[in-house]
Amino acid sequence: MIDLHSHTNESDGTCSPAELVDEAVRAGVTILGITDHDTFKGFDQAVPAARQAGIELICGIELSTKLHGSSVHLLGYFLSQSQMDDFRTWVLQQQAARRDRNIRLVARLRELGFDITLEEAEARGRGMTGRPHFAAIMVEKGYVSNFRQAFDEYLDESAKGYVYRQEPQFAEGVRRIREAGGIASLAHPVRVKGDIPALMPELVGCGLNAIEAYHSDHTPDDISLYLCLAKEYGLMVTGGSDFHGAVKPGVKLGTGSGSLEIPSDLVERMRRDGAPLTTTP
């Protein structure tokens, strides 16, 4: 089995990199893509464990980008890691922007009457502290009754505790991934606000060269639509469960919510078709 979308506790998953590899072995996943949000730390740490377990590890990342003001997630896959130093440096800059946001988010939440500190949030999220970590603290302290309420009332883009974070534009995310020799795949397109078929020419115009047709949130009809679009625009196809461990208990590695079937030859096809973008001077 194959799974090209998973998270460790270096972003907002609950498994350590080594635990994620163990989980893959248990689930029968032999090709595993680690796509933490804005960091390669989980992937880097999983490399020795995967080697020992005989699992093929794919280096990936999930970027939060902005498209027409809305958040769009973008996956980057680096089948060759020889030319990605600049990309890694850029990713570290994104992490600095996140920390700046977190400082302002703490101030905003304290203004709203919650006793939350940056230190306690970072104790959970470390370098990749994000809103889910703040939501967990709010649940634990009894400020809200569940995760959903924390987002709906305070943390969601439309909620009263939301503070702005500097995020790259979609086009920049795609360009950075492609210039680093990576494959840029539109993550869980079903979650993108707006009409995907209508947006496609613009996304492909930015250099997008893959689409995540297979994902835990996709119905069979969604999958068919994204496969059609992949064909129409000559895009590669990626797929994964978006496993986060205990925070999303209904999503299993490899099979998602139970019925996810990811074709086992996706990586072979990515290797065949994923020629790096050649920039002409």
Q: Would you tell me which residues interact with ligand AMP (CB under 6 A)?
A: 12, 37, 64, 130-132, 151, 156, 165
CA distance 220 to 138: 36
Please report the sign of the dihedral spanned by the C-alpha atoms of residue 116, residue 120, residue 124, residue 125.
positive
The nearest distance, CB 162 to ligand AMP, in angstroms, is 9
Residue 176 vs 248, nearer CB to ligand AMP? 248
- The CA-CA-CA angle for residues 76, 19, 186, to 5°, reads 20
The correct pick among 73, 98, 218, 248 for binding Fe ion (CB under 5 A) is 73
Q: 259: exposed, middle or buried (C-beta count within 10 Å: 0-12, 13-18, 19+)?
A: exposed
The nearest distance, CB 137 to ligand AMP, in angstroms, is 13
Residue 53 vs 247, nearer CB to ligand AMP? 247
Which of ligand AMP, Zn ion, Fe ion, none does residue 170 bind to, with CB < 5 to 8 Å depending on kind? none
CA distance 138 to 146: 8
The nearest distance, CB 73 to ligand AMP, in angstroms, is 7
DSSP designation for 257: T
Residues of this chain, 9-38, that bind Zn ion according to CB under 5 A = 12
Identify whether the C-beta of residue 121 lies closer than 8 Å to the C-beta of residue 129. yes
Identify whether the C-beta of residue 253 lies closer than 8 Å to the C-beta of residue 241. yes
Q: Does 179 bind Fe ion (CB under 5 A)?
A: no
Which of ligand AMP, Fe ion, Zn ion, none does residue 248 bind to, with CB < 5 to 8 Å depending on kind? none
**Which residues form the interface with Zn ion (CB under 5 A)?**
7, 12
